[in-house]
Amino acid sequence: MMELEDIIKSTKNIKLLYVEDNQEARETTELILEEFFDEITVAVDGEDGYTKFRDKAFDLIITDINMPKLNGLDMISKIRALDNNISVIVLSAHNEPEFFDNSIQLGIDSYLLKPIDIDSFIDALSKITINSSD
Amino acid sequence: MKKIKYIFLCVILLSNILYSSNELIKPHKQLTSSIEDKKNFLETQPTTGVYNEEYLTPSNLYIKNKAGESAVNTIGEHISLQEIDALRKKWFGVDIGQKGDYSEIEKEYIYNKKIIKVCTNPNWTPIEFTEDNKPQGISIDTLGIVAKDIHLSLKYIKTSSWSQSQEFLKQKKCDILPAAIKTKKRDVYANFTKPYLKYNLAIITKNDKPLVTNIESIIDKTMSRKKGSGLITKLKSKYPNITIKETYGYQDAINDVSEGNVYFTITTLPVFSYYKNKSNLTNLQVAGYSRMKYNLSIAVRKDDKLLLDILNKALNKIDLSTQTLIFEKWTKKQVEFQADYRLLWQLAIVSLIIIMIILFFTIKQKRLNMKIQQLNIELEERVKEAIKETQKKEQLLRQQSRFAQMGEMISMIAHQWRQPLAAISSTSATINLKTKLNKLDKDTALELSSKISSYSQHLSSTINDFREFFRENKEKNETTYNELIESVLGIIEISIINKNIILNKEFDSETIFSTYPNELKQVILNLIKNAEDALLDKNIENPQITIKTHKEVLTISDNAGGVSEDIIDRIFDPYFSTKTKKDGTGLGLYMSKTIIEEHCGGSLTLVNDQYGAQFKIVLKGLK
- B498 interaction partners in chain A (CB closer than 8 Å): 66
Mean of pLDDT values over B22-41: 42
Say whether B418 and A114 touch across the interface (CB within 8 A): yes
Mean of pLDDT values over A12-35: 90
- A34 interaction partners in chain B (CB closer than 8 Å): none
For chain A, give the DSSP string.
---HHHHHHHHTT-EEEEE-S-HHHHHHHHHHHHHH-SEEEEESSHHHHHHHHHHS--SEEEE-S--SSS-HHHHHHHHHHH-SS-EEEEEES---HHHHHHHHHTT-SEEEESSPPHHHHHHHHHHHHHHHH-
Whether B436 has a pLDDT exceeding 70, the answer reads: yes
Whether B57 has a pLDDT exceeding 70, the answer reads: no
Q: Between B290 and A83, whose confidence is greater?
A: A83
pLDDT reported for residue B60 = 38
Q: Which of A36-45, B149-158, B274-283, B425-434 has the highest mean pLDDT?
A: A36-45
What are the φ/ψ torsions at residue B197 (nearest 5 degrees)? -130, 125
pLDDT single digits (tens) B533-555? 899 888 898 999 999 999 999 99
Tell me the nearest-neighbour CA distance from A22 into chain B, angstroms.
Answer: 8
The residue in chain A having the minimum alpha-carbon distance to the alpha carbon of residue B423 is A28
How many whole angstroms separate alpha carbon A60 and alpha carbon A91? 13
Tell me the nearest-neighbour CA distance from A105 into chain B, angstroms.
Answer: 23
Tell me the nearest-neighbour CA distance from B448 into chain A, angstroms.
Answer: 10
pLDDT single digits (tens) B237-294? 888 888 899 998 888 889 999 898 999 998 888 888 888 878 888 888 888 888 777 7
Give, rounded to a whole angstrom, the gap between the first and last alpha carbons of chain B. Answer: 63
- Global ipTM: 0.81
SS (H, E, C) B440-483: CCHHHHHHHHHHHHHHHHHHHHHHHHHHHHHCCCCCCEEEEHHH
Mean pLDDT for all residues in chain B: 79
> What residues are paired with B119 via a beta bridge?
B157
Whether A134 has a pLDDT exceeding 50, the answer reads: no
Model confidence at B49, pLDDT cuts 50, 70, 90, reads very low
Mean of pLDDT values over B129-139: 85
Model confidence at B407, pLDDT cuts 50, 70, 90, reads confident
- A114 interaction partners in chain B (CB closer than 8 Å): 418, 422, 425
How many whole angstroms separate alpha carbon B552 and alpha carbon B515? 13
What are the φ/ψ torsions at residue B163 (nearest 5 degrees)? -60, -40
How many whole angstroms separate alpha carbon B612 and alpha carbon B535? 10
Q: Which among B422, B424, B437 has CB closest to A35? A: B437
Model confidence at B326, pLDDT cuts 50, 70, 90, reads confident
The residue count of chain B comes to 623
Residue type, B173: K
Q: Which among A4, A5, A29 has CB closest to B426? A: A29
Say whether A66 and B500 touch across the interface (CB within 8 A): yes
pLDDT reported for residue B100 = 54
Say whether A118 and B498 touch across the interface (CB within 8 A): no
- A93 interaction partners in chain B (CB closer than 8 Å): 418, 422
Q: Which among A93, A117, A121 has CB closest to B418? A: A93
Say whether B425 and A5 touch across the interface (CB within 8 A): no
pLDDT reported for residue B268 = 83
pLDDT reported for residue B69 = 43
pLDDT reported for residue B583 = 56
Half-sphere exposure of B590 (CA within 13 A, CB side): 17
User: pTM of the entire structure?
Assistant: 0.41
Give how far Cα B130 sits from Cα of B134, B135, B247, B273, Å. 5, 4, 19, 18
Q: How many domains does chain A have?
A: 1
Task: List residues of A whose CB lies inside 8 A of any B CB.
Answer: 4-5, 8, 22, 24-25, 28-29, 31-32, 35, 66-68, 93, 114-118, 121
Give how far Cα A129 sits from Cα of A1, A3, B396, B558, Å. 12, 13, 59, 48
How many whole angstroms separate alpha carbon B57 and alpha carbon B55? 6
SS3 B132: coil
Whether B58 has a pLDDT exceeding 60, the answer reads: no
Say whether B422 and A117 touch across the interface (CB within 8 A): no
pLDDT reported for residue B616 = 95
* CATH of span B476-623: 3.30.565.10
Q: Which among A25, A67, A118 has CB closest to B433? A: A118
Say whether A118 and B437 touch across the interface (CB within 8 A): no
Model confidence at A49, pLDDT cuts 50, 70, 90, reads very high
pLDDT reported for residue A44 = 92
- A121 interaction partners in chain B (CB closer than 8 Å): 429
pLDDT reported for residue B602 = 92
Q: Residues near B23 by Cβ (< 8 Å), separated by ≥ 6?
A: none
Task: List residues of B whose CB lies inside 8 A of any A CB.
Answer: 418-427, 429-430, 432-434, 436-437, 439, 448, 451, 498, 500
- B415 interaction partners in chain A (CB closer than 8 Å): none
Say whether B429 and A115 touch across the interface (CB within 8 A): yes
Residues B155, B115: contact at Cβ < 8 Å?
A: yes
**Which of B417, B428, B430 to mutate to probe the A interface, most A CBs <10 Å?**
B430
Say whether B427 and A24 touch across the interface (CB within 8 A): no
- A116 interaction partners in chain B (CB closer than 8 Å): 422, 425-426, 429
Tell me the nearest-neighbour CA distance from B431 into chain A, angstroms.
Answer: 9
Tell me the nearest-neighbour CA distance from B425 into chain A, angstroms.
Answer: 6
| DSSP structure class, residue B568 | G
Mean of pLDDT values over A80-99: 84
pLDDT single digits (tens) A99-115? 888 888 888 888 888 87
Say whether B423 and A93 touch across the interface (CB within 8 A): no
What dihedral do alpha carbons A67, A68, A69, A70 form, nearest 10°?
A: 10
- B421 interaction partners in chain A (CB closer than 8 Å): 115
Give, rounded to a whole angstrom, the gap between the first and last alpha carbons of chain A. Answer: 17
Q: How, if at all, do strands A15-19 and A39-43 pair?
A: parallel
Q: Residues near B133 by Cβ (< 8 Å), separated by ≥ 6?
A: B158
The residue in chain A having the minimum alpha-carbon distance to the alpha carbon of residue B452 is A28
Q: Which of B243, B250, B318, B306 is nearest to B279 (CA)?
A: B250
Residue type, B202: A
**By CB neighbour count within 10 A (0-12 exposed, 13-18 middle, 19+ buried), where does B153 fall?**
buried
How many whole angstroms separate alpha carbon B541 and alpha carbon B561? 11
The residue in chain B having the minimum alpha-carbon distance to the alpha carbon of residue A113 is B422
Whether B113 has a pLDDT exceeding 50, the answer reads: yes
Say whether B425 and A116 touch across the interface (CB within 8 A): yes
Say whether B429 and A116 touch across the interface (CB within 8 A): yes
Say whether B424 and A115 touch across the interface (CB within 8 A): yes
How many whole angstroms separate alpha carbon A23 and alpha carbon B339? 124
Whether B343 has a pLDDT exceeding 70, the answer reads: yes
**Which of B426, B432, B495 to mutate to probe the A interface, most A CBs <10 Å?**
B426
Tell me the nearest-neighbour CA distance from B547 into chain A, angstroms.
Answer: 21
Chain pair A-B, CB pairs under 8 angstroms: 57
Tell me the nearest-neighbour CA distance from B584 into chain A, angstroms.
Answer: 20
**Percent of chain B residues past pLDDT 70, beyond the cut:** 80
Say whether B500 and A35 touch across the interface (CB within 8 A): no
Say whether B423 and A4 touch across the interface (CB within 8 A): no
User: Any idea what the CATH number is for the domain that residue A92 is in?
Assistant: 3.40.50.2300
Tell me the nearest-neighbour CA distance from A88 into chain B, angstroms.
Answer: 20
Assess if CATH 3.30.420.40 describes domain B96-330.
no
Structural domain including A86 reads 4-133
How many whole angstroms separate alpha carbon B608 and alpha carbon B606? 7
pLDDT reported for residue B414 = 81
- B432 interaction partners in chain A (CB closer than 8 Å): 118
Say whether B437 and A8 touch across the interface (CB within 8 A): yes
Give how far Cα B610 sits from Cα of A32, B404, B557, Å. 48, 30, 10
pLDDT reported for residue B574 = 72
